[in-house]
Amino acid sequence: MSETRPVSETPPVRRLGDWDRERLAAAASEHGTPLYALDRDRVRANYRRIDAAFPEARVMYAAKAHAGRAVLEAVLSAGGAIECAAAGELDRAIAAGADPNELQYTAVNPPAEDLTYAAELGASAPGFTITAGALDTFDRLADRGYDGRVAVRVNPGIGTGHHEKVATGADAKFGIPAERAAEAAATVADRFELVGVHAHVGSGVLEDDLGEHCRAVERISAIAREVRSTVGDLEFVDIGGGFGVPYREDEPPLAIETVADRIRAAADVEAQLVVEPGRYVVADAECILTRVNTVKETPSTTVVGVDASLATLVRPAMFDSYHPIRNLSAPDRESVPVSVGGPCCTSADVFCTDRPVARPERGDLLAIGMAGAYGYELASQFHSQPRPAEVAVDGEPELLRRRETLADVTRVERE
């Protein structure tokens, strides 16, 4: 399964059927289910593909998509940099080997402890950069004695992406309004080392969204030029990430070189361009393995119960997201429409409804694809379920994260 070919020869998207079925089955047999299965080689290949498409830009992996140590180490080994949105992500990036001077922290209504962590980190790492989207946050930084590198997050008023909950570019929560950006930047520049302008317009952008995404990049560039005319030269303009992946089998992948060309044309700035891919790097690098425990025929559908749940993968419940499903035990059986759901006591705990899947039977092993982005990151202990294990399957199965136990679930209540 290890990808040894040049990046230019690796497929732009890994479909669920491309995974090594025997290797996944061996991982499930050894480590149990539900189980996250990660291919670190795919993480590196995806990062290098987008890095090659933007040779003049700085490509920073957005850790919020998957902050697992193995993923961060894979990105760093591919020569990548890391952007963090919380103190915990900063801490994990440093533990994975990142140079604090190369990190960027994007603060969104940061808790006091997060901001203190970042300010203290900046005191010992002068190359560290803090991005904030509210003057109040900059006041709080100053109160902590921080006067180092900062970027101003602006709100371009244009949001794109696969769901309204991720279209951040038009959400007032994120960034200083465009019409106030230059004035705010001047205020910030008097107190800190202002090095950049930042914005992020949305997530999961595919071909149909690209025109609007480029319009947002043009808007960000215009704001950056206005800021530059007010405060002087900027080191970088960060347009965020948002590059999507095709979750559905019939969706084509992004032609990332074409995307890069269009973004370069839209980004008219006299500063280094920064992009922050997250989902693009990890989505197709991980899948979930889950075992069928119940098959129930009803007048309306065949219900297939599995041991994974919305506590394992919440995206279908949260975003109505599509994730491909494959029967690894018997992929050649006749496909029948089934509804696959987990053990949680809510109708939201469903991975698909009336979808054709090779007829599942009790004991079969199913794979749920495209689970690397915001999969384990959003896993929970709902219903007091221990979070699953995570293994690497780019060689012999290697345990990356052990399965929680019931004692882990209640440990903080007893300590």
Q: Return the active site residues.
A: 345
CA dihedral 41, 43, 44, 45 (to 10 degrees): 80
At 121, is the secondary structure helix, strand, or coil? helix
Reported as half-sphere exposure (CB side, CA atoms, 13 A), residue 168 has a value of 21
DSSP string, 94-109: HHTT--GGG-EEEESS
Return the DSSP state at 207. G
Cα–Cα distance for residue pair 386/390, rounded to 1 Å: 13
Cα–Cα distance for residue pair 3/231, rounded to 1 Å: 46
CB 23 within 8 A of CB 363: no
Residues in the chain: 415
Cα–Cα distance for residue pair 301/312, rounded to 1 Å: 24
Cα–Cα distance for residue pair 356/296, rounded to 1 Å: 16
Cα–Cα distance for residue pair 46/277, rounded to 1 Å: 10
At 53, is the secondary structure helix, strand, or coil? helix
Reported as half-sphere exposure (CB side, CA atoms, 13 A), residue 73 has a value of 10
Instruction: Name residue 287's beta-bridge partners.
Output: 37
- Residues near 150 by Cβ (< 8 Å), separated by ≥ 6? 129, 130, 131, 132, 138, 141, 188, 192, 193, 194, 195
Instruction: Name residue 274's beta-bridge partners.
Output: 58, 238
Helix/strand number for the chain, H first, E second: 12, 20
Residue 151 one-letter amino acid:
A
Cα–Cα distance for residue pair 111/106, rounded to 1 Å: 12
DSSP string, 154-188: EE-S--EESSGGG-GGG-TTSSEEGGGHHHHHHHH
Name which of 367, 329, 330, 316 is nearest 34 in CA terms: 367
Query: Two tokens at 196?
Result: 């950049």
